[in-house]
Structure 1
Amino acid sequence: MSTFPFTAVVGADDMSLALVLTSVAPEIGGVLVRGEKGTAKSTLVRALAAVLPEQDVIAGCRFGCDPGAPDPECPDTARHEQTTVRRRPHLVELPVGAGEDRVTGSLDLSAALSEGHAAFEPGLLAAANRGILYVDEVNLLPDHLVDVLLDAAAMGRNTVERDGVSVSHAARMELIGTMNPEEGELRPQLLDRFGLTVEVAASRDPQERAEVVRRRLAFDSDPESFTTRYADAQADLSARLAAARKRLPEVELSDRAMAAIARVCAGFDVDGMRADIVTARAALAHAAWRGGAEVLREDIRAAAMFALPHRRRRNPFDAPGMDEDLLDQLLDESGLPDDPHEGPDGPDGPDDGPGGGEQTNAPDAADNPPAGADAPAPTQQPGAPEETADAPHDTDAGDTADAPSAGVAPIGVAGAETPYRAKAFEVRGVGEGALGRRSKARTDAGRTVSHAVYDGGSVHLPATIRSAALREARSAASPRRLRIVRDDLRRQVREGREANLVLFVVDASGSMAAHKRMTEVKTAVLSLLLDAYQRRDQVSLISFRGRTAELTLPPTSSVDAAAARLAELPHGGRTPLAEGLELTAHTLRLARLRDPRRRPLVVLVTDGRATATPDALDRANAIADRWPETGWETLVLDCEAGRMRLALAARLAARMHARHVPVGDVAAQTLVDHVAASTTRLGRSA
């Protein structure tokens, strides 16, 4: 099967350079590519393997050992043959549903049961040694699995200690992950473990977009002929990569250059020392790539553009990015020289693309404009929209003007204040959803609570042996040595935490606008969104105002998108509570069809009023009375304020069998204050 040529990809210079740098120096720690769908992320990664220099491998070694320097701890040392084979590095793709055993390797059950000894079955890390491990949609992997991958990439080794197996083998690989931020973000702790990150976006230049389509159609029509057209450019790029790897140990990192790297990292207020180390390694790789003998300013600048954006300190929901003016200022202060003509490649430096001059030699190079002209727009801050106007009084007046059909601007858009740490709300019972950090669930990770008949997963050795012993004890003729058969196998039943679907249903009517109540509501919801981000939940947002309800954000893992939609949420008009509840039920039924195991947590933000129609309150109460039949865990966030309170939200929560929480009690500190006050009163009474 033909692969689209690396040098034929149009308009991805930043991503190409990042992949080249980590190919020159795999110890950088891999590349994370972030970008919208349809931006050639997977195409470019799969094409990289075809231009990597060939390598010698010991024949018969499942771990791809180098004949010149074999791994002394390789489990296949006894299988090492005198002959060698020459091949391109392997590109290993991590399947979406792969478990930890598949990644790291595990006990070979067939050998253990048939031959009676513990044998190691290599995993994907072994197959990727001295090659590429590609993880598409890395942000959707469980955190513990991402940790395993990043640890192996950073240490260059994989160690397995379980099920009677103790193995350590080389895992020196180029780890590349791709993700679409709209589907959710990586936790900052995991994001920091990737050496480099790069943002990609589709070009808005019509000529460049047309060239992308032209080349793709030409490749699909005749892959062999299209690949032949770029054969020379591919060979040139492969030779340049080999030369850069050979030159890398000879590149000098002077004290001035090291001081400049430290100044840049300190200037961007990054945490820890990993940023300094990665920037230094990337700068050395960049100098070797351009053919230089020492690290110059341009090398540090290029390295910092990839190594620092995801490591700088950011507030929750801030978009990653770099202040290039600050970067240039810090480099100016370092006083490093910058000679773009240094090195055997002359002016043909990294700005001409990863292949150096290969695009000039390619047939379609004249139609390949430079990339990077259209950078992705930064995500809007949750608190950015200013409050334009508040409702003049705590009523639902103005419904006609604010109804969606009227086409008139809403009464106002309130901004949120700084989010706080919210209380931990969870779905009661024990679920079976995806790994997360909110509600109790039967998961593949966590503490072992029991065992069950084996149907896949980790073998529970004590329970298996116990089952075999009981069976042998019941047998009339029991052999001296315990014999284990298939029916004796037991698996571990583990209890951990699952991720949930947190559906926010927000009353955005005119009654919420009084006394700046909407600002308090948005701050509370934003705080709960931050909590959902930390617990790896999916989120969704429904708003209701005027006479209708709207699914503002369908279920997604991107809490950044939810925060942006919340910031732009208008308020005003009457209160269609029944319509909001009906849309909530419809949304949850669809979500159950897509993911039956993910349990929902409904957060209904309301003061309990229903004024859209004369019978609005009766219709809302009728829906609320049927709500307990659904079994959906529901939290009513009571937003009623003022001296005269009707307690409508509390009555609604009672009808729905939901938990009732005043909006002021969402903050975790509120609970601490209540406990402290109670303790003080008890002390005084004593």
Structure 2
Amino acid sequence: MPDRRETAVRHVHYPFTAVVGHDDLKLALILNAVSPRSGGVLVRGEKGTAKSTIVRALAALLPPVAVVAGCRFSCDPAAPDPDCPDGPHDTEGPHTLVRPARLAELPVGASEDRLAGSLDLERALTEGVKAFDPGLLAAAHRGVLYVDEVNLLHDHLVDLLLDAAALGVCYVERDTVSVRHAARFLLVGTMNPEEGELRPQLLDRFGLTVEVVASRDPAERAEVIRRRLAFEDDPEGFTRRWRKDEEALAARIAEARAGLGRVVLPDAALHVIATVCAGFGVDGMRADLVTAHAAVAHAAWRGGTRVTGDDIRQAARLALPHRRRRDPFDAPGLDENELDELLRDAASALEEEPDLDPDPDTGSGPSGEGPDAEPGSPADGSHDGTHDDTHDGARDDAHDGARDGAASPGPARAQDDEPRQGPEPDQEARDAGTGPAPRDEAAPAPGRPTPPAGEPYRVRALTVPGLGAGAPGRRSRARTTHGRVAGARAPSGRLGSPHLTATLRAAAPYQRERGRTGPGLIVRPGDLREAVREGREGNLVLFVVDASGSMAARRRMGAVKGAVLSLLLDAYQRRDKVGLVTFRGAGAELVLPPTSSVEAGAARLRELPTGGRTPLAAGLRRAARVVRAERLRDPARRPLLVVVTDGRATAGTDADVRRAASTLKDVAAVVVDCETGPVRLGLATRLAALLGGEAVGLDHLAAGGLRDLVRERRKVA
């Protein structure tokens, strides 16, 4: 069939083979390039580790694709999609276009319309026809769909694209449009775990995952800088120097794709895969299927014809780590010694089945590559190390100060000093009405050994009163870009989500006046209406935790940590940002700057030292400064203050506490009362009144009455 080549100026990307190191990431991407049935790749790592650079470079290695000329859905001329919205296609004659595989990028702020496609509103309003405007899933068909910062995408968008990746089909049922089109692509997502995790259910939908970190070897880091500077000085010249390696790797990927159908997966290998997945206790069967597909792809990549034990090992290393999370605060990981033991046990049970021996003709390196790997490929050590993603450095630097305030390796040390007062009696003795004489705890000496946190439990929903307009989430009511349609309005600026019915109603009465004589509808700018949607927003949940001597008793602090851990778990599920302020000894400190990574909050909580005096006013002042800073950085996100204390203040005066509380009067607040014992002073209740919030007993945090207490609050942020 005749064809013609597409010629276009393409942006010069950093070469894949020039990236130093990251062997596991290279291997995972290559396995998906060989077999997209491996399920995509999730790349986790700190900023500046070449995540975006290496993903963008992958598209250049994929074989060119032949498409039907003029088809917006990239149909294959040899087997056009019978359901293609642009079909049926006439494949006779010069209607074939050969073009490079595309890389479609899904930005964080994309809408569902942009991802899946929707009604072509312009044609509907001006021509009176129902036409479909395809989205990014159509553009990515037979190419790569890259989602940077996938953990910051709204959950419904992640669900939509993962469903399309799993089925290979995109279904659109909206705005009077009913469309089905093919959507088979290599899905790659990148994320910085400091900015928040994906839910375990969504993690499981990615086939493979890789952790990337920057090298600590000065020689490797120097090589990264050397290559990056050379690329920035002369991108085209640098790319030419690596062209031979790029072409060799692309040829090897094409050869592996062609040989994929010849790879045999014996029953013994299936038994080993099932044994390994069962041994690690993963949920469901997706892990087994992904491991099998990745093992087959690895066998084809190394040039083998049968899946071996090493193929299974390499596939399991990439397919299982993120599926072992049982708790949202667990970090993905895999014990390779345990993996080797399971592989040995499975092989022993099969009496050393010969099908699982390494292929003697191809050999096996650290990643399963044969000895004859092309230069520049992951098998060739001459171009390996770690590469700093300088290409994306400007973007990362710009985001550092404006985005989630991810936690630094150690807590902030700035403190509010309070005047030293008299001694504080032993709290447990005071609660019981007996015990030793009071002792001086004014000195902020090293904290006592940290008691373990109690088991987390399900807490009632804490919400901010009123109607906000913050980031999409699941906590408080808000005007959002997603959710149910609550009405329509004339746009105050740029048109957001159009409300088609309301627009048509606004234009309909004026058609005769406007001289309409044929089909279609004459619409003026003043007729346009946008949808007003009501959903849920994520909030800034700022925990202010009393870690002083009055809270230091092991039993009580364990319960307090269990309560805060439960609230952190709730914040994780509701897609909030969280921050953690603690006060003890001489002042208060911001242990966790506001971030979407509740895992960091849980880690800081577990390490929290206790002891010393109770500078309550300092804790409130520190919280007020954090709230002010976050309002400047993220003004649409409303704060919710959760103060965990028994209400005692042994450093500073009552006037100090009142002044500090007055700076937080416009912030929705809940005080978790940790006072115990037969005699209670009600200090936490008085603090809640000063803050304009409600006091909730620690033992009532999971009780049904808490929701009613929160709803009765009349304070509007």
Answer whether contact 1:7 1:355 (CA < 8 A) is retained.
no
Unaligned runs of 5+ in 2: 1-10, 348-352, 388-407, 410-425, 431-436, 710-717
**1:213-292 superposed matches below 5 A:** 213-292=225-304
Answer whether contact 2:583 2:589 (CA < 8 A) is retained.
yes
Q: Which residue of 1 aligns with 2:479?
A: 442
Higher relative contact order, structure no. (Cα contacts within 8 Å, ≥ 6 residues apart):
2
Q: 1:586 aligns with which of 609, 619, 625?
A: 625
The one-letter code of the counterpart of 2:121 is L
Q: Which residue of 2 aligns with 1:374?
A: none
Q: Which residue of 1 aligns with 2:376?
A: 359
Q: Which residue of 2 aligns with 1:386?
A: none
TM-score normalised to the size of structure 1? Answer: 0.88
**1:34-49 superposed matches below 5 A:** 34-49=44-59
Answer whether contact 1:391 1:572 (CA < 8 A) is retained.
no
Distance 1:3 1:493 in 2: 41
SS at match of 2:61: coil
SS at match of 2:543: strand
**1:123-138 superposed matches below 5 A:** 123-138=135-150
**Alpha-carbon displacement from aligned partner over 1:462-483 (angstroms, at most 9, x marks no partner):** 333333345569x699989884
SS at match of 1:16: helix
Q: Which residue of 2 aligns with 1:60?
A: 70
The answer as to 2:678 corresponding to 1:666 is no
Aligned length: 645
Shift in Å at residue 492 of structure 1? 2.1
The one-letter code of the counterpart of 1:643 is P
**Alpha-carbon displacement from aligned partner over 1:638-681 (angstroms, at most 9, x marks no partner):** 11111221111101111221111011111247879x9xxxxxxx
SS at match of 2:97: strand
Q: Which residue of 2 aligns with 1:72?
A: 82
**1:153-552 superposed matches below 5 A:** 153-335=165-347, 336-337=353-354, 338-343=356-361, 345-346=362-363, 350-351=367-368, 356-359=373-376, 366=382, 368=384, 397-402=439-444, 408-454=445-491, 455-470=494-509, 483-486=521-524, 487-514=526-553, 516-552=555-591
SS at match of 2:321: coil
SS at match of 1:446: strand
Q: Which residue of 2 aligns with 1:682?
A: none
SS at match of 1:359: coil
The one-letter code of the counterpart of 1:21 is L
**Alpha-carbon displacement from aligned partner over 1:240-272 (angstroms, at most 9, x marks no partner):** 100111111111111111121111111111111
Shift in Å at residue 635 of structure 1? 0.5
The one-letter code of the counterpart of 2:104 is V
Distance 2:32 2:262 in 1: 17
**Alpha-carbon displacement from aligned partner over 1:547-582 (angstroms, at most 9, x marks no partner):** 211111111000000001111111111111111111
The answer as to 2:47 corresponding to 1:10 is no
SS at match of 2:642: strand
Q: Which residue of 1 aligns with 2:153?
A: 141
The one-letter code of the counterpart of 1:425 is L
Q: Which residue of 1 aligns with 2:130?
A: 118
Answer whether contact 2:468 2:477 (CA < 8 A) is retained.
yes
The alpha-carbon distance between structure 1 residues 640 and 144, as it changes in their structure 2 partners (threshold 3 A), is same
The one-letter code of the counterpart of 1:324 is E
Q: 1:644 aligns with which of 659, 679, 684?
A: 679
Distance 1:391 1:651 in 2: 19
Shift in Å at residue 310 of structure 1? 1.3
The one-letter code of the counterpart of 1:546 is G
The alpha-carbon distance between structure 1 residues 103 and 608, as it changes in their structure 2 partners (threshold 3 A), is same
The alpha-carbon distance between structure 1 residues 149 and 480, as it changes in their structure 2 partners (threshold 3 A), is closer
Answer whether contact 2:470 2:638 (CA < 8 A) is retained.
yes
The alpha-carbon distance between structure 1 residues 2 and 461, as it changes in their structure 2 partners (threshold 3 A), is closer
Distance 1:329 1:84 in 2: 52
Distance 2:332 2:370 in 1: 24
Shift in Å at residue 354 of structure 1? 12
Distance 2:266 2:696 in 1: 60
Answer whether contact 1:13 1:370 (CA < 8 A) is retained.
no
SS at match of 1:110: helix
Q: Which residue of 2 aligns with 1:28?
A: 38
The answer as to 2:696 corresponding to 1:654 is no
More moved, 478-487 vs 562-571:
478-487
Q: Which residue of 2 aligns with 1:83?
A: 95
Shift in Å at residue 446 of structure 1? 1.9
SS at match of 2:178: strand
Distance 1:340 1:228 in 2: 37
Q: Which residue of 1 aligns with 2:399?
A: none
Answer whether contact 2:314 2:368 (CA < 8 A) is retained.
no
The one-letter code of the counterpart of 2:465 is R
The one-letter code of the counterpart of 1:161 is E
Q: Which residue of 1 aligns with 2:607?
A: 568
Distance 1:561 1:355 in 2: 44
The one-letter code of the counterpart of 2:315 is A
Distance 1:45 1:189 in 2: 24
Shift in Å at residue 29 of structure 1? 1.8
SS at match of 1:129: coil
The one-letter code of the counterpart of 1:76 is D
SS at match of 2:323: coil
The alpha-carbon distance between structure 1 residues 248 and 453, as it changes in their structure 2 partners (threshold 3 A), is same
The one-letter code of the counterpart of 2:41 is V
The one-letter code of the counterpart of 2:199 is R
Answer whether contact 1:465 1:484 (CA < 8 A) is retained.
no
Between the aligned residues of both structures, percent identity stands at: 59
Distance 1:282 1:430 in 2: 48
Answer whether contact 1:469 1:482 (CA < 8 A) is retained.
no
The one-letter code of the counterpart of 1:442 is R
More moved, 659-668 vs 146-155:
659-668
The one-letter code of the counterpart of 2:98 is R
**Alpha-carbon displacement from aligned partner over 1:111-157 (angstroms, at most 9, x marks no partner):** 11221101111111111110001011000000001111101111111
Unaligned runs of 5+ in 1: 372-378, 381-389, 403-407, 675-686
TM-score normalised to the size of structure 2? Answer: 0.85
Q: 1:577 aligns with which of 616, 621, 628?
A: 616
The one-letter code of the counterpart of 1:446 is G
Answer whether contact 1:233 1:361 (CA < 8 A) is retained.
no
Answer whether contact 1:41 1:178 (CA < 8 A) is retained.
yes
SS at match of 1:445: strand
More moved, 532-541 vs 69-78:
69-78
Distance 2:372 2:438 in 1: 64
Shift in Å at residue 349 of structure 1? 7.5
The one-letter code of the counterpart of 2:56 is R
Q: Which residue of 1 aligns with 2:712?
A: none
Answer whether contact 1:192 1:311 (CA < 8 A) is retained.
yes
